[in-house]
A and B are shown apart, each in its own frame.
Chain A
Amino acid sequence: MSEHSPPGSRIDWSGPSIESIRRDMLRFAQMQLRDAATAEDMVQEALVAAMNSEHGFAGRSAIKTWLFAILRNKIVDHIRRNAREISRSDLAAQDEDGDDGMDALFNRKMMWSSGYWNHEDGPATWSNPDEVLSQKQFWTIFDACVNHLPEKLARIYMMREMLELETDEICRELGISKNNCWVILHRARLGLRECLEDNWFKGAAR
């Protein structure tokens, strides 16, 4: 990476704050791509693009938000170029309405009893959700819970929620039916919710 800031730059590109943002960008990219080398490339491309278009940064948002938006676009482009490499048959193989995908996730307990929440597993009241989002430890748990989802679920969940693709596009890119896409997203959300409740909200009261 070039260590020089362009003339007239308002951003210290070799300073510690960019370095710390870069680390967070890497973590984000690795989570989306599950490939360290590609993640590194995407972050590199995003930083170079940002440096070359610094005039586009009007200071309306935080630098970090701006850099993350550029990174997000790089990752989306990469996924669009490479979607066909992601095994379609693998994703499409999932039974459309069966519970097979969830069994692995919830093998330790039964979530439902004849279609209704079991009392001990029913969604509880989460306290202080707004404060939670500014607690560093929460994000460690959030990160772990997303990564803990079965890979297919995590991948599609992240395309939808972190990369903000519409389900139409996700289905098209991955060659799966819309219904299958909705089922996978539903399972991912069930799993993530359960994990957050068990490991954060229900755990040690914070």
Chain B
Amino acid sequence: MINCKQATRLMSEELDRPLKWQEKAALSTHNAMCVYCRNYRKHMAFMREAARRFREGVTEQGD
């Protein structure tokens, strides 16, 4: 069983490289039981979207 610290690391790395199937399995097993880490993953997706908008200069309504 992986803990939250290990899970967050995998949730960062999945943004940078494809995870191995064993890693995916460990992560989904952990997240099924951990609401904090499920939130964490949503936050990672949100931050990636924010970075995309920032990079494209789309940071305000009406842009």
- Chain B binds chain A: yes
A contact set with B: CB distance below 8 Å: 21, 24-25, 28, 62, 64-65, 67-69, 72, 112, 114-117, 122-126, 129, 133-136, 139, 142, 160-164, 167, 181-183, 185-186, 189-190, 192-193, 196-197
What are the residues of chain B within 8 A of A126 when measuring CB–CB?
A: 39, 42-43, 46
Task: Write out, one digit per residue, whether chain B residues 38-58 have a CB within 8 A of any chain A CB (1) or not (0).
Answer: 011011101111110111111
> With A24-B57, A112-B4 in contact, is A62–B63 under 8 Å at CB?
yes
Task: Write out, one digit per residue, whether chain B residues 17-56 have a CB within 8 A of any chain A CB (1) or not (0).
Answer: 1000000000000000011110110111011111101111
Closest CB in chain B relative to A31 CB, distance in Å: 9
- A68 partner, pick from B12, B47, B51, B56, beta carbons under 8 A: B56
CA distance A82 to B43 in the complex (A): 33
User: By the criterion of a CB under 8 Å from any partner CB, how many residues of chain B are at the interface?
Assistant: 36
Q: Is the interface of B mostly helix, strand, loop or mixed?
A: helix
A125 touching B39, Cβ below 8 Å: yes
Can you name 27 A-B pairs with beta carbons within 8 Å?
A24-B59, A62-B63, A64-B58, A64-B63, A68-B57, A112-B4, A115-B4, A115-B5, A116-B5, A117-B4, A117-B36, A123-B37, A123-B39, A126-B39, A126-B42, A126-B43, A136-B61, A142-B54, A160-B16, A162-B54, A162-B55, A186-B8, A186-B12, A189-B15, A189-B44, A189-B47, A190-B12
> With A123-B39, A161-B48, A161-B51 in contact, is A189–B12 under 8 Å at CB?
yes
B contact set with A: CB distance below 8 Å: 3-6, 8-9, 12-13, 15-17, 34-37, 39-40, 42-44, 46-51, 53-61, 63
What are the residues of chain B within 8 A of A189 when measuring CB–CB?
A: 12, 15, 44, 47
CA distance A69 to B57 in the complex (A): 9
A179 closest partner in B (C-beta)? B13
What are the residues of chain A within 8 A of B4 when measuring CB–CB?
A: 112, 115-117
Closest CB in chain A relative to B20 CB, distance in Å: 14
> With A133-B49, A167-B16 in contact, is A65–B54 under 8 Å at CB?
no
A167 touching B44, Cβ below 8 Å: no
Most buried by A among B42, B44, B46: B46
CA distance A69 to B52 in the complex (A): 11
B57 touching A182, Cβ below 8 Å: no
Closest CB in chain B relative to A178 CB, distance in Å: 8
B55 touching A193, Cβ below 8 Å: no
